[in-house]
Chains A and B, each alone.
Chain A
Amino acid sequence: MRVLIVAALAVMLPLAAHAEVVVTDPWARASILASRPGAAYVTAESDEDDRLIGASTPIADRVMIHAIETDANGIGRMVHRKTLDLPAGEAVDFAPGGMHLMLMGLSEKLVEGTTFPLTLHFEAAGEVTVNVPVLGVAASRLDEGSK
């Protein structure tokens, strides 16, 4: 019986990992000063309910998910999120003034025109790595920055 359950689980495992997340439009803003945190932005969409459980990059010690929450007094605060829900078929946008991936402890300054790899860890879909272009200090949206 136990063997059967293990076998069944083994068969189901690839099915459970079938969720796919598409990560598009990554970009980060160039740093002005070394030793200051950076911010990266992406759009993520999953074909089924999934959850972003973390992110990492070789160029930073830590990547934190930051979002804005508004309290009863209308004061918006940047808050650290451990996870972020990705409802099926819904594009979740990281953008200035909304959510961003904060890059803590950068090993190097983010220089305009360079790129760096960023790996997003999803609960169901696993790891997705994207190449993040660094745009100018004044970039506020991907389209503006690439002009």
Chain B
Amino acid sequence: MTTEFATRHLRRIRLVLWGVVTAVLLATGGALMMRSYLLPPTSEGISVEVATIGETDIRSEFTLMDHTGRAVTEADFTGRWQLVFFGFTHCPDICPTTLAYMASVLDLLGPDAERVVPLFITVDPARDTVPVMAEYVAAFHPRLVGLTGTEAQVAEAARNFRIWYERMDDENAPDGHMMAHAGHMYLMRPDGRFDDVFQEQDQSPQKMAGQVLARIQESQDVK
């Protein structure tokens, strides 16, 4: 009687344990499958997520290639304000909208536009090569500088600007996310430190141009 009870009891425990093992295997397998589904190696059809994490300690530090094929670092732009936007040329909505908006802001800055360098940094360097960037930035503004580089260089630039991005295979994952956080434009001071952040939908280009001019003016008054 007791033995029979014990046997049944043990059998139940064994069943439960096997259940747990199966569940763990399924979960692990599922997670791995999801991972490979969502995060394939760089290929055609990838899309990218961009998000900001915090404003503290954001700094303009990078080693990249501009759209003319010239190797550049932040030192090439010191002494001028920077208007920085991270995006990628496969992005059909936020990126062209924000870059066109940035172009309007630049035009509205008038003579002071010379003191601001507009930078468009791709987070999809595998596809956004130098010639692609050259053609792309020219469509928005003659002064817009397109920056690309190796995956590592872009990752480093994004890290310093505290931009997070993630790549997903859009072709195989039509349900996958396209792009996070509607593009932020960073206004960086001439010393490469963070000054302000703007978003296209938050204000008119006139208002943003006014705010940028005010920031430039204020910093001059301090000196």
Contact = CB atoms under 8 A, between A and B. Distances in A.
Interface of A: 29, 32-33, 36-39, 64, 66, 68, 75-80, 96-97, 100, 102-103, 137-140
Contacts of A64: 174
A29, A37, A39, A103: most-surrounded residue (chain B CB, <10 A): A37
A34 to B, nearest CB: 10
A33 B97 CA distance: 15
Given A32-B89, A68-B182, 10 more contacts: A33-B135, A36-B90, A36-B92, A39-B92, A39-B96, A77-B179, A80-B174, A96-B200, A138-B140, A140-B97
A38, A75, A103: most-surrounded residue (chain B CB, <10 A): A75
A137 B177 CA distance: 24
B93 interface: yes
Nearest to A78: B178
A5 B160 CA distance: 69
A33 B104 contact: no
10 contacts: A29-B92, A29-B96, A32-B136, A33-B135, A76-B181, A77-B49, A80-B175, A100-B93, A102-B92, A140-B200
B208 to A, nearest CB: 13
B203 to A, nearest CB: 13
Interface residues of B, number: 29
By Cβ-Cβ distance, the 10 closest A-B pairs, closest first, are: A78-B178, A138-B100, A39-B92, A96-B97, A32-B139, A77-B180, A77-B177, A37-B92, A78-B179, A75-B51
Interface of B: 49, 51, 89-90, 92-94, 96-97, 100-101, 103-104, 132, 135-136, 139-140, 174-182, 200-201
A76 B182 contact: yes
Given A97-B201, A138-B140, A76 B180 contact: yes
A140 B101 contact: yes
A139 B99 CA distance: 11
A89 to B, nearest CB: 26
B96 A137 contact: yes
Contacts of A66: 93, 178
Nearest to B170: A104
